[in-house]
């Protein structure tokens, strides 16, 4: 996964064919510059450059080129179908046009992705001759494909130990200082997380990375990331029905998003300091698993009544957030597949954003729109905070009311964020239920590109 080859791009080629990317307003002028037989052919076919419209141009030795309609789509996903609609193994060069080559390269690579660790693909993708200055796009594509691989890996092959080891290996590749917590040390430092993992024969782990860019001084801005890495979630004693459990290998999607974002930051060598924490556990049913109405301690000193063992993600994150906040980052970001309520409200494609800082919230939302990796902000509504009250502990991990589940979960996490700490919480789905352009069915890394852009913009001007 860490070294997955991107067989959809090549740095040089002598046999690359011309790929023309055209929008409707420029079509007439473009046709006038084309060889008359080819232009007449496209006119006869009624080619109008609508989104995804593809036609091949014949030459003396077969296919000489192709023309692809973009419509008015400016996102990377406009290019997401090309790798498997162009003939297998052929190589293509992008011709000049009204589009961003970086966006084209990113979309092409994201659409070319397939999970191939356990099954050979049915065909090879077409290859793109990489345009100049697109390395940032290729870096993002590599990171997202890595995260997709993590999510798609079956849970029997990616447990807490394997996920933590992967995070450590990723950090070491980029020169980060790493730490792995396990056993008694983990139980002492992260008691709530340990309680979640107590029911599994596969022990929990916490992987921590500390990295500093080559241009960052000792007191450079610190960005802190925390990821929920529940490698499989049965729901515990509050057992999920089989249909709800079917995709729970993706419950570490928050960890995958955080690791993908960390990789982007480190490969870009941003002038900042980075701290990454990944809580790796499995939520299982056994004689040692936490039970409904158990009361468990947390790193922050609060006690939590377990109103529902299937609300375990917030227990994994609360200890990580409490520790991360002690280091005074300019922003503390967590990603988690936390609630079905967020999916009910916003659907699978739109992660929910919660933020206690208006400047960071605006930066994230603007970045999401700009790079076509959107989120939608939901409120940290104080009126629901009392719903987490418990008669026997500091706080309950759920509300007894059947409303506002994603907001209540965010309010739980906010209890562990000290005043004055800018905090971004992203409740995401991490899965494509069906294939879309650039987004094959299966695991998906959401919000990482958006957060990268926001971090680049905000880390230069903290506060």
**CA–CA gap between residue 96 and residue 436 (Å, rounded):** 26
**CA–CA gap between residue 364 and residue 358 (Å, rounded):** 10
**CA–CA gap between residue 458 and residue 422 (Å, rounded):** 12
CATH assignment of the domain containing 420? 3.40.630.10
Contact 204, 280 (CB under 8 A): yes
**CA–CA gap between residue 183 and residue 194 (Å, rounded):** 9
**CA–CA gap between residue 264 and residue 454 (Å, rounded):** 13
Domain check: are 236 and 257 in the same one?
Answer: yes
Backbone angles phi, psi at 369, to 5 degrees: -65, -40
1 assigned to some structural domain:
no
For residue 275, pLDDT over 60 is answered with yes
The token duo for 145 is: 């494909």
Reduced to 3 states (helix: H, G, I; strand: E, B; else coil), residue 275 is: strand
**CA–CA gap between residue 352 and residue 331 (Å, rounded):** 17
The token duo for 102 is: 């970086």
Domain containing 394 equals 140-459
Say what the pLDDT of residue 216 is.
Answer: 96
For residue 301, pLDDT over 60 is answered with yes
**CA–CA gap between residue 137 and residue 26 (Å, rounded):** 26
For range 348-375, the mean pLDDT: 98
Question: How many CB atoms neighbour CB 388 within 10 A?
Answer: 21
For range 452-459, the mean pLDDT: 94
4 assigned to some structural domain:
no
Last residue of a domain, one of 115, 132, 149: 132
Give the pLDDT band (50/70/90) at residue 444.
very high
Last residue of a domain, one of 106, 132, 158: 132
Last residue of a domain, one of 86, 102, 132: 132
For range 107-118, the mean pLDDT: 97
For residue 463, pLDDT over 60 is answered with no
Q: Tell me: the pLDDT tens digits for 7-65? A: 999 999 999 999 999 999 999 999 999 999 999 999 999 999 999 999 999 988 889 99
404 assigned to some structural domain:
yes
Q: Tell me: the pLDDT tens digits for 381-421? A: 999 999 999 999 999 999 999 999 999 999 999 999 999 99
Domain check: are 128 and 144 in the same one?
Answer: no
Query: Which of 356, 357, 349 lies closest to 375 in space, CA to CA?
Result: 349
Question: How many CB atoms neighbour CB 157 within 10 A?
Answer: 11
Say what the pLDDT of residue 60 is.
Answer: 81
Exposed, middle or buried, 344 (CB in 10 Å: 0-12/13-18/19+)? exposed
Give the pLDDT band (50/70/90) at residue 119.
very high
For range 159-176, the mean pLDDT: 98
Express as a percent the part of the chain with pLDDT over 90: 96
Q: Tell me: the pLDDT tens digits for 417-442? A: 999 999 999 999 999 999 999 999 99
For residue 264, pLDDT over 80 is answered with yes
Backbone angles phi, psi at 174, to 5 degrees: -105, 20
Domain check: are 164 and 246 in the same one?
Answer: yes
For residue 305, pLDDT over 80 is answered with yes
Domain check: are 189 and 258 in the same one?
Answer: yes
The residues, ordered by sequence, that sit 6+ positions from 29 with a Cβ below 8 Å of its Cβ are none
Catalytic positions are: 240, 314
Say what the pLDDT of residue 379 is.
Answer: 98
Say what the pLDDT of residue 304 is.
Answer: 98
Greater confidence (207 vs 463) lies with 207
Domain check: are 385 and 429 in the same one?
Answer: yes
**CA–CA gap between residue 354 and residue 356 (Å, rounded):** 7
User: Considering its fold, how many domains does the chain have in total?
Assistant: 2
Domain check: are 63 and 194 in the same one?
Answer: no
Contact 435, 76 (CB under 8 A): no
3 assigned to some structural domain:
no
Domain check: are 119 and 162 in the same one?
Answer: no
Q: Tell me: the pLDDT tens digits for 65-103? A: 999 999 999 999 999 999 999 999 999 999 999 999 999
Say what the pLDDT of residue 79 is.
Answer: 98
Say what the pLDDT of residue 112 is.
Answer: 97
CATH assignment of the domain containing 40? 3.40.220.10
The residues, ordered by sequence, that sit 6+ positions from 246 with a Cβ below 8 Å of its Cβ are none
Q: In what order do the strands lie in the sheet with 352-355?
A: 177-181, 205-212, 273-283, 222-233, 331-336, 423-427, 352-355, 376-377
The token duo for 166 is: 């992967």
Q: Is the dihedral of CA 224, 229, 233, 238 positive or negative?
A: negative
Contact 257, 147 (CB under 8 A): yes
For residue 462, pLDDT over 70 is answered with no
Domain check: are 90 and 167 in the same one?
Answer: no
Give the pLDDT band (50/70/90) at residue 460.
confident
The token duo for 156 is: 């029997």
**CA–CA gap between residue 228 and residue 30 (Å, rounded):** 50
For residue 232, pLDDT over 60 is answered with yes
**CA–CA gap between residue 281 and residue 202 (Å, rounded):** 8
Q: What pTM does this model have?
A: 0.97
Domain check: are 117 and 166 in the same one?
Answer: no
Reduced to 3 states (helix: H, G, I; strand: E, B; else coil), residue 260 is: helix
Say what the pLDDT of residue 384 is.
Answer: 98
Domain check: are 217 and 324 in the same one?
Answer: yes
Reduced to 3 states (helix: H, G, I; strand: E, B; else coil), residue 163 is: helix
């Amino acid at each position: 996964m860490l070294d997955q080859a991107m067989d959809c791009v090549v740095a040089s080629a002598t046999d690359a064919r011309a790929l023309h990317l055209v929008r409707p307003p420029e079509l007439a002028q473009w046709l006038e510059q084309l060889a008359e037989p080819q232009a007449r052919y496209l006119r006869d076919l009624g080619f109008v450059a609508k989104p995804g419209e593809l036609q091949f141009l014949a030459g003396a030795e077969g296919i000489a080129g192709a023309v692809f309609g973009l419509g008015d789509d400016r996102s990377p996903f406009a290019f997401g179908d090309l790798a498997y609609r162009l003939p297998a193994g052929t190589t293509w060069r992008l011709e000049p046009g009204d589009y961003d080559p970086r966006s084209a390269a990113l979309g092409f690579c994201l659409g070319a992705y397939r999970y191939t660790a356990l099954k050979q693909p049915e065909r090879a993708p077409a290859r793109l001759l990489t345009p100049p200055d697109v390395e940032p796009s290729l870096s993002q594509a590599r990171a997202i494909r890595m995260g997709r691989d993590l999510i798609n890996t079956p849970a029997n092959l990616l447990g807490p130990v394997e996920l933590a080891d992967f995070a450590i290996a990723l950090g070491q590749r980029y020169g980060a200082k790493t730490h792995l917590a396990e056993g008694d040390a983990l139980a002492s430092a992260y008691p709530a997380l340990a309680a979640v993992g107590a029911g599994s024969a596969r022990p929990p782990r916490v992987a921590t990375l500390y990295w500093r860019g080559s241009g960052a001084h000792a007191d450079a801005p610190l960005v802190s990331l925390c990821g929920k890495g529940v490698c499989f979630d049965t729901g515990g004693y509050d057992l999920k029905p089989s249909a709800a459990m079917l995709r729970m290998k993706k419950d570490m999607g928050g960890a995958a998003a955080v690791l993908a974002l960390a990789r982007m930051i480190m490969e870009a060598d941003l002038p900042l300091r980075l701290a990454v924490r990944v809580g790796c556990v499995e939520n299982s049913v056994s004689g040692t698993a936490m039970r409904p109405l158990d009361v468990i301690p947390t790193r922050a000193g609060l006690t939590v009544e377990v109103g529902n063992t299937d609300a375990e993600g917030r227990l994994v994150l609360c200890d990580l957030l409490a520790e991360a906040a002690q280091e005074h980052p300019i922003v503390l970001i967590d990603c988690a597949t936390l609630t079905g309520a967020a999916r009910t409200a916003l659907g699978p494609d739109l992660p929910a954003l919660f933020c206690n800082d208006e400047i960071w919230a605006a930066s994230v939302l603007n970045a999401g729109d700009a790079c076509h990796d959107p989120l939608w902000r939901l409120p940290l509504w104080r009126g629901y905070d009392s719903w987490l009250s418990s008669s026997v502990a500091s706080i309950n991990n759920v509300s007894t009311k059947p409303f506002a589940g994603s907001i209540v979960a965010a309010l739980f996490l906010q209890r562990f964020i000290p005043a004055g700490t800018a905090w971004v919480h992203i409740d995401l789905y991490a899965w494509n239920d069906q294939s879309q352009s650039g987004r094959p069915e299966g695991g998906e890394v959401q919000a990482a590109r958006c957060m990268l852009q926001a971090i680049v913009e905000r880390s230069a001007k903290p506060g």
